[in-house]
Structure 1
Amino acid sequence: MSDPAITPDLIAAHGLSPAEYDRILEIMGREPSFTELGIFSAMWNEHCSYKSSKLHLKTLPTTGPQVICGPGENAGVVDIGDGQAVVFKMESHNHPSYIEPYQGAATGVGGILRDVFTMGARPVAAMNALSFGEPSHPKTRQLVHGVVEGVGGYGNCFGVPTVGGEVRFHASYNGNCLVNAFAAGIADADAIFYSAASGVGRPVVYLGAKTGRDGVGGATMASAEFDDTIEEKRPTVQVGDPFTEKRLMEATLELMATGAVVSIQDMGAAGLTCSAVEMGDKGGLGIRLDLDAVPVRETAMTAYEMMLSESQERMLMVLDPAREDAARAVFEKWDLDFAIVGETIAEDRFVIVHGGEVKADLPLSTLASSAPEYDRPWVPTPEAAPLAHVPPVDPIDGLRALIGSANYCARDWVVAQYDTQVMADTVVTPGLDAGVIRVHGTDKGLAFTSDVTPRYVRANPERGGAQAVAEAYRNLVAKGARPLATTDNLNFGNPEKPEIMGQFVGAIRGIGAACTALDMPIVSGNVSLYNETDGAGIDPTPTIGAVGLIENLGRRIQGRVTNGMIALLLGGAGTHLGRSALLAEHLGREDGDAPEVDLAAERAHGEFVLANAGWITACTDLSDGGLALAAFTLAEANGLGVTLDPADTAELFGEDQGRYLLACTFDSAEALMVAAGQADVPLTMVGQFGGGMVRFGTAEAPLEALSDLYRGRFETLFA
């Protein structure tokens, strides 16, 4: 079969602009072959090149004494003491999950797990942040089922506990759901593996599963908007096999112990193309590949298909040739493919040979580090109009509206489909604030959370970006964990629209300021743009995944509340109802500005909680739903009612930032009040836990009835 002619339509179908194609002609001095066009398309799309975002990503804080490896590798690496490191990252699989929910979500989990064990870390925890359209939308139920089953199906079979995450619903995701997958692993701090190739003439080795046609063009598809041709994109979705991935992980970690690995790279987006180019570019080397040696599971595959396939469970490695036999024996033992498919070369070339013919011969550096970089035009998001009058709300009616909504009811139905206890080190399962695991064989713990409030980001991108980091910080602190570092998954619409690019720029500024102030550098991440269907973009959703360290699990904040414990509010009374959950769920409104984020107060209040954790029995941060929702969820999780003194709508449901609800004994409450005075932080007694009623001021309802609503709503809507 001859290659198709390079036409303007074919160039556009590959996501390349006329100016970018002109640049390719200038680089090559000739017209590219079909395979070369595909390679440029894969490497220059948004998903691989970050061409619209990297100018702004460079402003984020990425270093600190705890950081071993920041952005640029498969995952970030942070020191947790005792010669150990936590390796983690979050990535999106949004477009594939909308087209084919089960496989899109499953392979998103598989890809992020490979990012972690490619660095030499054994995965120990996973999270997922999911955004769907309105519950009433005809596609939402199918997406919820497919995505949740895909996440659970892959993670459970692979054998990693799901310890946290988010599920949200909003009309802006009707045509484009978001599936953000997070994974973390533990490694020896002095045994981290990197992707930069080194040494000329060393073998390039293909590891894992065979290559098929699934996922061809996936990275390019992920860098484009959806339209009415969406069903035609189904073949670009990868198909995963968690059992093969489990064998691949064990084989890879065993291989690393042999000393044979010079460098290693996961085959994710753009498959063989991206993995080979990134290894060569980071090492300042060229790569020559012979596709006849690539293990395939389908016949008559072309060079184009093999280079752009995104078949799962595959790795690429540069090998120490003296250890080839030992390396091959490891993969043969695990019944996985091990094939020498090329070599490193001194020249700055990416040479692809197939059937004895050169199918591509390109300057390698132009594909990666020299890819286009754009300073897209952007306009600031207009200042939000003042909040219109909010009438007084019956406190129990407001609470019912929240806990009976898809956004704030319990996620029991979702969590029940995930294995949260595999590996037997889970200390706190998904629920309030953050999940916690034990670092195996030690007294240390790691806490994990993911957070963002998209309605804040839409109203005020800078505040919304800062708030996402601040809420992640609070969720870790609420478990007694000292925040270490963050990973980001930046989900936005079309960056060619100045207003969307303005959202991105504003959010990055807020994220950067908060990460700096709270000493939580960004060590890894992902940008997902063009999340639009027929020109309608998602709410900007810059998800923040964060990790914290608990030095001694015996002294963590336990989270257990007993009858008669005092409720203390750290951080002042609620006043801010703009863009609040109460407005959205009870009054059907989304107006006003996002709440202010006082980063100095966030730090001071978090440090107070950590310094006085011994007095605190349970803690949760105040975010969506304010004091009312925080008090109900903390009490209900312990089978108790709660009485709160405040009855004012803003005091109960305001979403002012930097606040925590603490539960403790009376004696501990007295000690905390003294400590708060010394630290000059606002701490107020606001009520008491216990009994079988939920009382806000004079309004009340039986806990049992509210709990039935809260626990049963999600299953009623979706199961």
Structure 2
Amino acid sequence: MTDAPDPEQTPAPASLDTVERAAGDPDREQPWADLGLKADEYDRIRSILGRRPTSSELAMYSVMWSEHCSYKSSKVHLRQFSEIPQETRAGRMLAGIGENAGVIDIGQGYAVTFKVESHNHPSYVEPHQGAATGIGGIVRDILAMGARPVAVMDPLRFGPLDAEDTSRVLPGIVEGVGHYGNCLGLPNIGGEAVFDPTYLGNPLVNALCVGVLRHEDLHLAKASGAGNQVILYGARTGGDGIGGVSVLASETFDADGPAKRPSVQVGDPFMEKLLIECTLELFAAGVVAGIQDLGGAGLSCATSELASAGDGGMRVDLDKVLLRDSTLAPEEILMSESQERMMAVVEPDDVAGFLAICEKWDVEAVVIGEVTETGRLEIDWHGARVVDVPPRTVAHDGPVYERPYARPDWQDGLQADAAEALPRPGSDEELKETLLRLVASPNLADKSWITDQYDRYVRGNTVLAQPSDSGMVRVDESSNLGVAVSTDCNGRYAKLDPYAGAQLALAEAYRNVATGGATPLAVSDCLNFGSPEDPAVMWQFAEACRGLKDACLALGVPVTGGNVSLYNQTGETAILPTPVVAVLGVIDDVTRRTPSGFRAADEAVVLLGETREELSGSEWAHVVHGHLGGRPPAVDLAGEQALAGLLGDLVGVVTSAHDLSDGGLAQTLAESSFRHGMGVEVRLEEVHADPFVALFAESTGRVLVTVPEEGMNELLARATAAGVPAARIGRTGGDQIVVDGRFAVGVAEARDAWSATLPAVLG
């Protein structure tokens, strides 16, 4: 334990804005607008308190009622996720929406917790630290549930690859993700890197973490038990991140960047590593009654949420908080989003043991308050009261906006402009050139320039990682129980039809988990959209939420939690609606997972699923024609469910499985060949009558598998029983990709084109 300042020795300054003073000078002008509050919100705060707020109370309400922390524009739409049964078809939820992260029972006494969140605007302002602290924050969310973090993922979105600002933000973001995760010793097992002009000036940095715990180790964020002590431990509180993500993520960027640029948080992964090990030992010692990480809104969030979720009362001596900067005012301490901090509620008899464990790990800890029965959050500064509020009004009962939304006038015209009418390759040579052009396009090209900066195999339990369809980690080394995770979203599909776009994101992630042999269990989401003050954007958001809810009901997978990121636009240009969906699945034995590349010659190549003439929103339309219009591929959730069940039944029968998505069959053939340098020869008439459609359509619910000749009959029988179309389309072997006798391209030639794109631009 580190000695805290003695408030009796340092009296409060006479100018301090105390509760008593706030009651006596109701007309004092306050900078509520500068802190992001609206006039009616400020009036509501005054009504709640029966007086004007103190400057410290104003700071707390401003950050906790920000868009980022309060979800005030999205709550009305997110509530429908509660309609989804919490019992999954293969497990049960132990904790869900409202906690730091969702927790799912996976059997054998184990549970996993996972969540995906955004750190978009900070990563534009300061790419390295913005991305690094995004990883740090999501890891602490997982830790706070009582779990050991075991893996991370990073779905990323950027402007055009060759844009000047992409060259500024992309390397820094990748470096930040890699530096922080590598220092923590956490494998990065997957993610995405997508390029589109709408993300120019507003990159998306979404971060996911997976943690593992035993059922009995589950911890929740609540402060119960009058007299229990409140302990702040970890890094000291500094001036970095004051206002931070809570304000920065709650406004629109203009052409020159954000209108306000609060200091972006600064991360220290080595401190976080100590904090992880210290916290896990505290859990094992049984000295934690409640816990909360300090992320967005810092102490304002931790104190109000813990008190609100517990018995409703807490008293804090703010001047006991250990500082890196002694000049910080109480308002700044409450708003600081300094990283690597946790808050625990500890029974009095356990305080000494708690502090001893912190000292062992060289983690500073100090008792700053206690749980009370007052129903109030009371915060003192050098003996003077600066906060006296009902904690629920800060943490949970903030504004709820039913913002107007309407289908935009341009939507009909957009959907009418179908890509199916665009000029297509006419000759076999043009088909070959199209394949080579697409595999080298930024969205489909090799992403190892990015992923090679991440340690994908540290800890020794990574089973699958990029470029596999999903990431997979072993949970138990004796039984080989494991989990698989995939994150997906095609923003072009969501622009064409946000309802279907969200379902397509879920369907792809669900399918990717199943291709490895895992059973999909649960969903976390990160809903990235433009300004909620634009009715068209709010319509997109509402439709995406409705689509995701309906798809989860159909597939039997609950939403365990997630994140909403709004105001993602530069000036009047909103990003593509980007509802990133993460799906987690369980696999009983990771040694029996299904890999994703062609491994051996003379195996049958079988396409599962049906190919239709669906080209709108496709990578072909985007790359070749710069076109976005029409309707996205049709969603068949029953077909996806049948396909996933079949893929589980085919574990041990098929030797590889790779889903078809962006780029269609052509991209899947190429990626499957690149993995081990194994060629393939295919016939397209079994796929579709039009060779171009067969190669480049992006119909969903399709997976390419390989099977030895002796397993072919069993595969076809199981596919028939599952009601999944299955067509034998070729055979592996050689060193070329041979298409229907129409053209052939060397695997090495195509791989060179695929591999060269990012290094050619990024160095």
TM tier, smaller: over 0.9
User: What letter is aligned with 1:58?
Assistant: R
Contact 1:465–1:511, Cα closer than 8 Å, also in 2: yes
Aligned partner of 1:56 in structure 2 is 77
Cα shift at 1:359: 1.6
Aligned partner of 1:422 in structure 2 is 458
Aligned partner of 2:146 in structure 1 is 120
SS in 1 for 2:652: helix
Match of 1:454 among 491, 505, 520: 491
Cα shift at 1:619: 0.5
Equivalents in 1 of 2:651, 2:227: separation in Å?
Answer: 57
Equivalents in 2 of 1:50, 1:437: separation in Å?
Answer: 32
CA-atom RMSD in angstroms: 1.7
Equivalents in 1 of 2:524, 2:717: separation in Å?
Answer: 37
Contact 1:62–1:71, Cα closer than 8 Å, also in 2: no
Equivalents in 2 of 1:411, 1:604: separation in Å?
Answer: 31
SS in 2 for 1:211: coil
Cα distance change, pair 106–356 in 1 and its aligned pair in 2 (3 A): same
Aligned partner of 2:61 in structure 1 is 40
User: What letter is aligned with 1:420?
Assistant: R
Aligned counterparts, 1:266-305, within 5 A: 266-305=293-332
Relative to structure 2, which stretch is displaced further, 598-607 or 145-154? Answer: 598-607
Cα shift at 1:675: 2.5
Cα shift at 1:671: 2.2
Aligned partner of 1:18 in structure 2 is 39
User: What letter is aligned with 2:757?
Assistant: R
User: What letter is aligned with 2:661?
Assistant: S
Match of 2:582 among 526, 531, 545: 545
Cα shift at 1:272: 0.5
Cα shift at 1:589: 1.1
Cα shift at 1:677: 2.6
Question: Between the two proteins, what is the percent identity of the paired residues?
Answer: 41
Aligned partner of 1:431 in structure 2 is 467
Equivalents in 1 of 2:534, 2:219: separation in Å?
Answer: 39
User: What letter is aligned with 1:662?
Assistant: V
Relative to structure 2, which stretch is displaced further, 22-31 or 203-212? Answer: 22-31
Cα shift at 1:555: 2.4
Equivalents in 2 of 1:432, 1:457: separation in Å?
Answer: 24
Contact 1:507–1:542, Cα closer than 8 Å, also in 2: yes
Match of 1:348 among 375, 383, 401: 375
SS in 1 for 2:416: coil
Equivalents in 2 of 1:109, 1:391: separation in Å?
Answer: 44
Aligned partner of 1:406 in structure 2 is 442
Aligned partner of 1:444 in structure 2 is 481
Equivalents in 2 of 1:523, 1:160: separation in Å?
Answer: 22
SS in 2 for 1:300: coil
Unpaired runs of 5+ residues, structure 1, are: none
Deviation track 1:678-701 (CA, whole Å, cap 9, x = no partner) reads 333211112222211122230222
Match of 1:609 among 640, 647, 653: 647
Aligned counterparts, 1:133-282, within 5 A: 133-218=159-244, 219-227=246-254, 230=257, 233-282=260-309
Relative to structure 2, which stretch is displaced further, 281-290 or 578-587? Answer: 281-290
Relative to structure 2, which stretch is displaced further, 204-213 or 389-398? Answer: 389-398
Aligned partner of 2:20 in structure 1 is none
Aligned partner of 1:487 in structure 2 is 524
**Does 1:707 pair with 2:763?**
no
Match of 1:678 among 721, 745, 758: 721
Contact 1:491–1:531, Cα closer than 8 Å, also in 2: yes
Match of 1:313 among 330, 336, 340: 340
User: What letter is aligned with 1:706?
Assistant: A
User: What letter is aligned with 1:103?
Assistant: Q
Cα shift at 1:228: 5.3
Deviation track 1:476-500 (CA, whole Å, cap 9, x = no partner) reads 1100000111110111111111110
Aligned partner of 1:655 in structure 2 is 698
User: What letter is aligned with 1:629?
Assistant: Q
Aligned partner of 1:664 in structure 2 is 707
Equivalents in 1 of 2:204, 2:267: separation in Å?
Answer: 19
Aligned partner of 1:687 in structure 2 is 730
Contact 1:221–1:236, Cα closer than 8 Å, also in 2: no
Unpaired runs of 5+ residues, structure 2, are: 1-12, 18-24, 685-689
Aligned partner of 2:595 in structure 1 is 558
Contact 1:99–1:233, Cα closer than 8 Å, also in 2: no
Cα distance change, pair 676–228 in 1 and its aligned pair in 2 (3 A): closer
Aligned residue pairs, count = 719
Structure 1 runs (4+) greater than 3 angstroms displaced: 1-9, 228-235
Cα shift at 1:126: 0.6
Contact 2:227–2:347, Cα closer than 8 Å, also in 1: no
Aligned partner of 1:519 in structure 2 is 556
Equivalents in 2 of 1:709, 1:670: separation in Å?
Answer: 37
Relative to structure 2, which stretch is displaced further, 498-507 or 196-205? Answer: 196-205
Equivalents in 1 of 2:61, 2:213: separation in Å?
Answer: 35
User: What letter is aligned with 1:199?
Assistant: G
Deviation track 1:127-178 (CA, whole Å, cap 9, x = no partner) reads 0000011112211011110000000000000110000100001000001110
Cα distance change, pair 397–62 in 1 and its aligned pair in 2 (3 A): farther
Contact 2:469–2:596, Cα closer than 8 Å, also in 1: no
Cα shift at 1:233: 4.7
Cα shift at 1:579: 0.7
Equivalents in 1 of 2:494, 2:475: separation in Å?
Answer: 35
Match of 1:94 among 120, 126, 136: 120
SS in 2 for 1:614: coil
Contact 2:32–2:38, Cα closer than 8 Å, also in 1: yes
**Does 1:587 pair with 2:628?**
no
Cα shift at 1:558: 3.3
Equivalents in 1 of 2:122, 2:722: separation in Å?
Answer: 50
User: What letter is aligned with 1:532?
Assistant: Q
User: What letter is aligned with 1:55?
Assistant: V
Deviation track 1:438-494 (CA, whole Å, cap 9, x = no partner) reads 114231121111000000001100000000110011001100000111110111111
Deviation track 1:34-81 (CA, whole Å, cap 9, x = no partner) reads 221111101111111111111111111261142111111111100111
Equivalents in 2 of 1:368, 1:663: separation in Å?
Answer: 53
Cα distance change, pair 702–9 in 1 and its aligned pair in 2 (3 A): farther
Relative to structure 2, which stretch is displaced further, 505-514 or 100-109? Answer: 505-514
Equivalents in 2 of 1:403, 1:166: separation in Å?
Answer: 16
User: What letter is aligned with 2:445?
Assistant: C
Cα distance change, pair 473–667 in 1 and its aligned pair in 2 (3 A): same
Contact 2:201–2:257, Cα closer than 8 Å, also in 1: no
Deviation track 1:236-288 (CA, whole Å, cap 9, x = no partner) reads 21000000000001111111122211100000000011011111111141221
Cα shift at 1:234: 4.7
User: What letter is aligned with 1:40?
Assistant: Y
Aligned partner of 2:135 in structure 1 is 109
SS in 2 for 1:10: coil
Equivalents in 2 of 1:611, 1:276: separation in Å?
Answer: 49
Cα distance change, pair 107–7 in 1 and its aligned pair in 2 (3 A): farther
Aligned partner of 1:629 in structure 2 is 667
Equivalents in 2 of 1:695, 1:390: separation in Å?
Answer: 26
Equivalents in 2 of 1:397, 1:649: separation in Å?
Answer: 12
Relative to structure 2, which stretch is displaced further, 675-684 or 278-287? Answer: 675-684
Relative to structure 2, which stretch is displaced further, 219-228 or 305-314? Answer: 219-228
Equivalents in 1 of 2:104, 2:154: separation in Å?
Answer: 21
Cα shift at 1:402: 1.5
Equivalents in 1 of 2:95, 2:485: separation in Å?
Answer: 19
Relative to structure 2, which stretch is displaced further, 499-508 or 424-433? Answer: 424-433
Contact 2:150–2:187, Cα closer than 8 Å, also in 1: yes
The TM-score, its normalising length taken from structure 2, stands at 0.92
